[in-house]
Structure 1
């Protein structure tokens, strides 16, 4: 039930955002992709769009990730503003965002009774990477997600994505 509420909330947000339809200049300004690691912590499904009718420039992304590990449900909702520098197919991607992290225990075992594994939080992060979009729409991304936390071990997390741009 908990996951259904989160999925419904994210779906309403994504589908209520004004979409542009097909561009006249064939610029692929919207994308959907699966991101491994990165701002979704473990993985996330993301929707990305440009604010203007062009493939580069200022845009945003929002996503959803979910996993259950050792009696703890982890739901992540990454969102960010990003800027694509480049022309045609290859882009430098720079951005700033945050990830909402929702933790919940799935059982009352001793391993998961730690109070650190319940609740919610917000983790701020950046995006530094490369994005390649083929003329067919195939998209891949690779880069680093710097998390702005007090733990030096979490400073830079790699990210890799595959998806489709339209």
Structure 2
């Protein structure tokens, strides 16, 4: 009788533990960014590759900005890694931004060879707050950009979005 009671108690405890365990799902984020790896104003999607809130992930976006006849279209693509716990993370990233630039009012400071399009290398060192379940997210950081002609180490960006 004691053995049956012991086995029943253990099974009851194990089933309670299973009920309390939360399923961890990968973080997905849609956001708008000013500056950053997209250079101007971009709409982006970011996701982790595994069923985690941190770790390795990637992002893709598209941006467009026009003023006084000057136009720039960008497509930022990057890999990033999130370090942290809870809802606060440090982001480290490396990527490329495809850019098409049409400057009417002066020199194009990104592509010195006179081309109107090209690829820029990008890095990301950012602080990110994203909720554990779902809700609004925030990101701000330094995003150095570079190509064969330039290195701009103190370029930055800020973003607001929604994590689900």
Report what 1:74 is aligned to.
Answer: 72
Give the corresponding residue for 1:123: 120
Q: Take 2:129 and 2:107, find their aligned partners in 1: how far apart are those partners?
A: 44
TM-score, structure 1 normalization:
0.73
Which is greater in Rg?
2
Task: Give the match for residue 51 of structure 1.
Answer: 49
Q: Give CA-to-partner distance per residue, 1:27-68, whole Å, 9 cap, x none.
A: 451000011111111111110000001110000000111011
Who is 1:100 aligned against?
98
The answer for unaligned runs of 5 or more in structure 2 is 1-21
> Aligned equivalents of 2:56 and 2:107: distance in 1?
43
Tell me the TM-score normalized by structure 2: 0.74
Residue matched to 1:160: 158
From the superposition, tell whether residues 117 and 42 of structure 1 become closer, same or farther in structure 2 (CA, over 3 Å). farther
Q: Which structure 2 residues correspond to residues 17-96 of structure 1 after superposition, within 5 A?
A: 25=23, 27=25, 29-96=27-94
Give RMSD over aligned pairs.
2.5
Task: State the partner residue of 1:9.
Answer: none
For structure 1, the 5+ residue unaligned runs are: 1-23
Q: How many residues align?
A: 138
